[in-house]
Amino acid sequence: MNAAHATEGVTVPFGTRIRNWWGSLDRWQQWAILVPAVVLIYLLPVLNPPLLSTEPGTDFQITLFNAARIALIAIGLNIVVGQAGLLDLGYVGFFAVGAYTTAVLSSPDSFLNTSYPWLICVPLAMLVTAVSGLILGAPTLRLRGDYLAIVTLGFGEIVRLLADNLDPLRGQRGFAAIPGPEVTRADGSQIFTSSDGTPWYWLTVTVIIVVLMLVGNLERSRVGRAWVAIREDEDAAEAMGVPTFRFKLWAFAMGAAVGGLSGSIYAGQVGFINSQGFDVITSILFLAAVVLGGSGNKLGVIIGAFLIVYIPDRFQVIAQYRFLIFGLAIIVLMIFRPQGLLGARQRLLTYGRQAYQRLIGKGEQISSESALQKHGNGVLR
Amino acid sequence: MTAQEPPTEEIGAAAPEGGLVAELERMGPQERAVHDKEVAAAAATDREIAVGVGDTLLELRDLTMRFGGLTALDAVSFAIRRGEILGLIGPNGAGKTTCFNAMTGVFRPTSGEVLLEGRPISRRKRFDITQLGIARTFQNIRLFGEMTALENVMVGTDARHRTSVPGAVFRMPRHYAEERAGVEKSMALLEFVGIADRAAEKARNLPYGYQRRLEIARALATEPKLLCLDEPAAGFNPAEKDDLVSLIRKIREDGYTVLVIEHDMRVVMGVTDRIVVLEFGRKIADGEPDAIREDPAVLAAYLGVPDDGHA
C-alpha cells in the first residue's frame, strides 16, 4: 500500500503516508477502491465471516446494525465536538428526542394517536431534534469549554428525567409497536422486522453514506472553515468576521438532527422504547467512539463506533468490563496518540486540489514538511 | 467518502510544472514585474469606500474606556485619513492596545464614539465590524493552527461571503462562485505577502516570519477599509523589519489604509505618514514623524523630564 512512498523516509507518519497515497490517486482509481470496499461493507451480514462473526453469543446482523447506528451518532456528534470543538456530554438527549418523537407520532400507545408511518416520522423527528438543538444552544452557546460541557450534561439528564416522569411519555411502560418502513416481500411478509438486522443495517449504511456526503459538502465550504476556525481560536475567528454564535448554533442543530435521525431508526428497529437506555453513560460511550476513532475525522469516528459496539459483542467474556476497558484504552490513547486512532485532517476548500496544484505544483500534501523541501524559503520575496 | 467533483473550471491560469514557485524562478525581471503587478491587482480591494482619498475614514471621538477604577483611555480623539499609514505609539501601558480593542469591537467603550465613514460602529458586534471594514492582526500571533496557510486566508475572504449551511449542503451556485472567487483572492494574497511557497502547510508549522505575514494576508482577505496591525515587527531582526516596512508600503500602494501600533522606532519613523502618541490613556501628540521626534511632550514621555530640584 505504501510502497510508492517508502522512499520518502521514515519521518513521515504512517497515516500521513496513507493519506498522501490516497490523495495522489486519480478519481477513478479512488472509485476503484471505494466501490468494492462499500460493496464489501454491504455484504458483511450476508457473508457472516467465521472469525469476525459475533455468533453464537450475539446475532451478527443485529451487532452490525447497532454498530452502524452508533456510527451515525458518532458522525453527528463529530460535527459538534470534532469540527466546531464544542464538548457535548448530553448528546444522548438528542438521540432520545429523535426516538421519542418517532414513538409518539407512530405508536398506538401514544396520546396523539396519529399512528403515522415510519417514513413520515423520520423527517419530523429530525426537525424536532434540530429545534431542540437550537433551544439548548441559544442560551448556552455563549458559554465555553468546561461550562458548556456541564450544561449539555444537564440537558441529557433533563431529557431522560422528562421521559421518566412526564405522564404522556409513559416512563418505564414506554411505547410499543413502533412501526418500521412498510416494505413487504412478494409473499406479503414484512422486510423490516425487529428480529432481522440485515435490512436495517443496509438502510443505516445507506443513510450514513448520504449523511457523509452532505457533511463532506459542509466541511469543504465556508461553514466547515468557520467551524474549524471556532475550534482553533474563537476570538480570532470572531475578529476575522466569522459570526461565531450563529455557526455554533448551526453545528448544534446539524449534529442534533443527525442524532435524531439515528434515534428514529433505532425506535423503528426495536419497535419499543421506554426511558431506559438514554442515560449519561450512553452519552459518554458516544463520546468515547468519537475520541477513540479520532475527533474530527469522519472515517475515524466510524471505526471508533464500530469498535465500541463490536468488541463487547464479539468477546462476551469482557462485555461486563467494557467501560473499564474503554476507559483504559482512552487513557492509553491520550498518552500515546492524543489525536485518536485517525488524526483529524479536514479538507476545507472546494477547489483545494486545483489551488495547491497551481501554487506549489502538487496536490494537497499535508505531511508537515514534504511540500517545501525542494524549494528553499522565501523564493517569493 | 468523496463527493462529486465540482464543476471543473480552472483556478487561475493552467497549473505550470512545479507550480507557481518554480514558475517564478524561471521568470526574467521584466516578466516578474508584470506578474507582480497582476498579483497586486488581484490582492487589491474593489470595495466601495464612501470617503475620498485623504478624507477622514475613521474617527475616534472622545473615546473613554474605564475598567473599574482604572481609566485606560481618557477622551482620546484622532482621525485616520483614507490612504495614509498612521502610527499609534506610546510607552508601555499607554493604552494603545486598549484603543485598538475599543475600535475593533472587543471592548465596548465607556463613552465616546468610533465612526467609520461617518457612521458610528462602537455598539456593533466584533464580526460585524470586520465585515464593515476594519481588520486586525494580533500582537501575539493568533492563526488557526490546524488549517493550512491557504485555508487561513480563505476564512478571511469568507467575511465577505454569504453562503451558509443550506447553500453549502446543497451546493448552490453561489457556493461555487464564492468558493472560486475566494480561493483566487487567497492565492493572490499569499503571493502578495510573499508566502505562497508554503500555502499547503499547516499554519502552526510555518516559521515565525511567515506566520506574521500570514496574519496580514488573512486580515487583508476581509478586504478591509482600514487594516490595523498590532506590533507587526515584534520579534523580527533588522532585515525582517526592513522587509516588513516595504510590505506595509506595498499594502498602502495597493489602496489600503493602515494603522500600525509599534514599539520599534525605526519601523514607525520609516513607514508612517503621521503619528499619534498616547501616554497614560491620553493623546499627547499628533503629527508627522519629524515633528513627533522633536515634540517635547513625547520626549518627556519616553525619556522622562529632568527633575528641577536636583538640576
User: Is the per-residue pLDDT at A3 higher than 70?
Assistant: no
- Residues of B within 8 A of A254 (CB-CB) are 165
Percent of chain B with pLDDT over 70: 92
Cβ–Cβ below 8 Å for A222 and B13: no
User: Is the per-residue pLDDT at A376 higher than 50?
Assistant: no
C-alpha–C-alpha distance, residues A204 and A195, integer Å: 16
C-alpha–C-alpha distance, residues A72 and B76, integer Å: 56
State the DSSP H helix or E strand holding residue A93, giving kind and residue range, or none if neither.
helix A92-106
List all residues of chain A from 221 to 250 with a beta carbon under 8 Å from chain B: 221-226, 228-229, 231-233, 235-244, 250
Residue A265's nearest CA partner among A314, A199, A309 is A199
- Which 3 state secondary structure label does DSSP give B278? strand
B163-169's contacts with Cβ under 8 Å and 24+ in sequence apart are: B163/A221, B163/A222, B163/A223, B164/A222, B164/A223, B164/A250, B165/A218, B165/A223, B165/A250, B165/A254, B167/A221, B168/A217, B168/A218, B168/A221, B168/A222, B168/A223, B168/A224, B169/A214, B169/A217, B169/A218
Q: Give backbone dihedrals phi and psi of B17, rounded to 5 degrees, phi first.
A: -60, 130
- Domain(s) of CATH 3.40.50.300: residues in chain B: 49-133+225-311
Rounded to a whole number, what is the distance in Å from the CA of B56 to chain A's nearest CA? 23
Of residues B162 and A23, the one with the higher pLDDT is B162
Q: Please answer whether residues B144 and A236 qualify as being in contact, where contact means their C-beta atoms are separated by less than 8 angstroms.
A: yes
Section A26-48 average pLDDT:
91
Percent of chain A with pLDDT over 70: 91
Confidence grade of residue A202 (pLDDT, cut at 50, 70, 90)? very high
What is the per-residue pLDDT for B170? 92
Q: State which residue of chain A sits closest to B216, comparing Cα positions.
A: A240
List all residues of chain A from 207 to 226 with a beta carbon under 8 Å from chain B: 209, 212-214, 216-218, 220-226
Handedness of CA A257, A261, A264, A266 (dihedral sign): negative
Helix segments in B53-122, DSSP class H: 96-103
Residue A48 grid cell: 457472516
Backbone region of residue B181 per phi and psi (left: phi > 0; alpha: psi in -120 to 50; beta: other values): alpha
Q: Which of A214, A240, A361 sits opposite B155 (nearest CB)?
A: A240
Backbone region of residue B12 per phi and psi (left: phi > 0; alpha: psi in -120 to 50; beta: other values): left
Name the least confident of A53-67, A210-224, A350-364.
A350-364
Cβ–Cβ below 8 Å for B21 and A241: no
Residue A252's nearest CA partner among A26, A79, A46 is A79
Q: Which of B11, B158, B165 sits opposite A254 (nearest CB)?
A: B165
What is the per-residue pLDDT for A1? 38
Q: Please answer whether residues A125 and A261 qualify as being in contact, where contact means their C-beta atoms are separated by less than 8 angstroms.
A: yes
What is the per-residue pLDDT for A367? 43
The tally of CA atoms less than 13 A away on the side-chain side of residue B268 is 24
- Residues of B within 8 A of A82 (CB-CB) are none
CATH topology of domain A53-360: ABC transporter involved in vitamin B12 uptake, BtuC (1.10.3470)
Confidence grade of residue B311 (pLDDT, cut at 50, 70, 90)? very low
- Residues of B within 8 A of A355 (CB-CB) are 11-12, 150, 183, 186-187, 199
Of residues A201 and A172, the one with the higher pLDDT is A201
Please write the tens of the pLDDT for every residue from A218-235.
999 999 999 999 999 999
Unique residue bearing C-alpha cell 498616547:
B278
- Residues of B within 8 A of A359 (CB-CB) are 19-21, 150, 187, 190-191, 196-197, 199-200
Rounded to a whole number, what is the distance in Å from the CA of B113 to chain A's nearest CA? 20
Section B241-265 average pLDDT:
93
Q: For an interface test with A, give the residue of B154, B176, B189, B195 to mutate (most A CBs within 10 A).
A: B154
What is the per-residue pLDDT for A373? 32
Q: State which residue of chain A sits closest to B128, comparing Cα positions.
A: A241
What is the per-residue pLDDT for B188? 94
Q: Give backbone dihedrals phi and psi of A104, rounded to 5 degrees, phi first.
A: -65, -35
- Residues of A within 8 A of B178 (CB-CB) are 222
C-alpha–C-alpha distance, residues B43 and B24, integer Å: 18
What is the per-residue pLDDT for B266? 87
Q: State which residue of chain B sits closest to A219, comparing Cα positions.
A: B168
Cβ–Cβ below 8 Å for B10 and A368: no
Is beta strand B226-230 parallel, antiparallel or unpaired with respect to B56-67? Answer: unpaired
Q: Please answer whether residues A287 and A259 qualify as being in contact, where contact means their C-beta atoms are separated by less than 8 angstroms.
A: no
Cβ–Cβ below 8 Å for A380 and B196: yes
Confidence grade of residue A333 (pLDDT, cut at 50, 70, 90)? confident
What is the per-residue pLDDT for A374? 32
Mean pLDDT of chain A: 86
What is the per-residue pLDDT for A22? 80
Q: Order across the sheet with B257-261: list the strands.
A: B134-136, B226-230, B257-261, B85-89, B274-279, B282-287
List all residues of chain B from 55 to 94 with a beta carbon under 8 Å from chain A: none
Cβ–Cβ below 8 Å for B198 and A239: no
What is the per-residue pLDDT for A16? 72
Unique residue bearing C-alpha cell 473499564:
A324
- Residues of B within 8 A of A375 (CB-CB) are 21-22, 197
What is the per-residue pLDDT for A41? 93
Q: Order across the sheet with B119-120: list the strands.
A: B70-81, B56-67, B111-116, B119-120
C-alpha–C-alpha distance, residues A93 and B255, integer Å: 53
- Cross-strand pairs, B56: B81
Q: Which of A250, A355, A360 sits opposite B21 (nearest CB)?
A: A360
User: Is the per-residue pLDDT at B76 higher than 90?
Assistant: yes
Cβ–Cβ below 8 Å for B2 and A34: yes
C-alpha–C-alpha distance, residues B86 and A5, integer Å: 51
Helix segments in A315-361, DSSP class H: 322-336, 352-360
Residue B44 grid cell: 487589491
Please write the tens of the pLDDT for every residue from B55-74.
999 999 999 999 988 999 99
DSSP string covering A171-220: TTT-B--------B-TTS-BSS-SS-HHHHHHHHHHHHHHHHHHHHHHHT
Section B111-118 average pLDDT:
93
What is the per-residue pLDDT for B307? 67
User: A169 — contact with chain B (CB < 8 Å)?
Assistant: no
What is the per-residue pLDDT for A327? 87
Q: Give backbone dihedrals phi and psi of A340, rounded to 5 degrees, phi first.
A: 95, 175
Helix segments in B118-223, DSSP class H: 126-132, 149-158, 165-169, 173-193, 208-221
User: Is the per-residue pLDDT at B2 higher than 70?
Assistant: no
What is the per-residue pLDDT for A317? 82
Please write the tens of the pLDDT for every residue from A65-100.
999 999 999 999 999 999 999 999 999 999 999 999
Cβ–Cβ below 8 Å for B146 and A228: yes
Of residues B152 and A366, the one with the higher pLDDT is B152
Q: State which residue of chain A sits closest to B221, comparing Cα positions.
A: A240
User: Is the per-residue pLDDT at A378 higher than 90?
Assistant: no
Confidence grade of residue A369 (pLDDT, cut at 50, 70, 90)? very low
Q: Cis bond leading into A56, ω under 30°?
A: yes
What is the per-residue pLDDT for A377? 36
Confidence grade of residue A255 (pLDDT, cut at 50, 70, 90)? very high
Q: How far is residue A197 from each of residues A37, A45, A50, A268, measured CA to CA in Å?
A: 20, 8, 18, 12
Q: State which residue of chain B sits closest to A343, comparing Cα positions.
A: B146
How many other CB atoms sit within 10 Å of the CB of residue A246?
Answer: 14
| Cβ within 8 Å of residue A184, ≥6 positions away | A190, A191
CATH topology of domain B49-133+225-311: Rossmann fold (3.40.50)
Confidence grade of residue B28 (pLDDT, cut at 50, 70, 90)? confident
What is the per-residue pLDDT for A5? 41
User: Is the per-residue pLDDT at A359 higher than 60?
Assistant: yes
Q: With both helix axes pointing from N to C terminus, report the angle between A197-219 and A222-232 in degrees, rounded to the nearest 10.
A: 80
User: Is the per-residue pLDDT at B181 higher than 90?
Assistant: yes
Domain ranges of chain A: 53-360
Rounded to a whole number, what is the distance in Å from the CA of A110 to chain B's nearest CA? 33
Cβ–Cβ below 8 Å for A238 and B199: no
What is the per-residue pLDDT for A10? 45
Residues A6-27 as b/e (b if ≥16 CB within 10 A, e otherwise) read: eeeeeebeebbbebbeebeeee
Q: Give backbone dihedrals phi and psi of A276, rounded to 5 degrees, phi first.
A: -80, 155
List all residues of chain A from 326 to 345 with a beta carbon under 8 Å from chain B: 344
- Residues of B within 8 A of A223 (CB-CB) are 163-165, 168
Q: Which of A221, A254, A369 sits opposite B175 (nearest CB)?
A: A221
C-alpha–C-alpha distance, residues A206 and A87, integer Å: 28
| Cβ within 8 Å of residue A202, ≥6 positions away | A42, A45
Residue A260's nearest CA partner among A117, A136, A166, A121 is A121
Please write the tens of the pLDDT for every residue from A138-182.
999 988 888 999 999 999 999 999 999 998 898 889 898 898 898
Is beta strand B85-89 parallel, antiparallel or unpaired with respect to B274-279? Answer: parallel
User: Is the per-residue pLDDT at A329 higher than 90?
Assistant: no
**A-B C-beta contacts closer than 8 Å:** 220
Please write the tens of the pLDDT for every residue from A286-295.
999 999 988 8
Residues A150-159 as b/e (b if ≥16 CB within 10 A, e otherwise) read: ebbbebbbeb
- Residues of B within 8 A of A228 (CB-CB) are 144, 146-147, 151
The tally of CA atoms less than 13 A away on the side-chain side of residue A194 is 11
What is the per-residue pLDDT for B4? 46
Cβ–Cβ below 8 Å for A361 and B20: yes
Of residues A26 and B102, the one with the higher pLDDT is B102
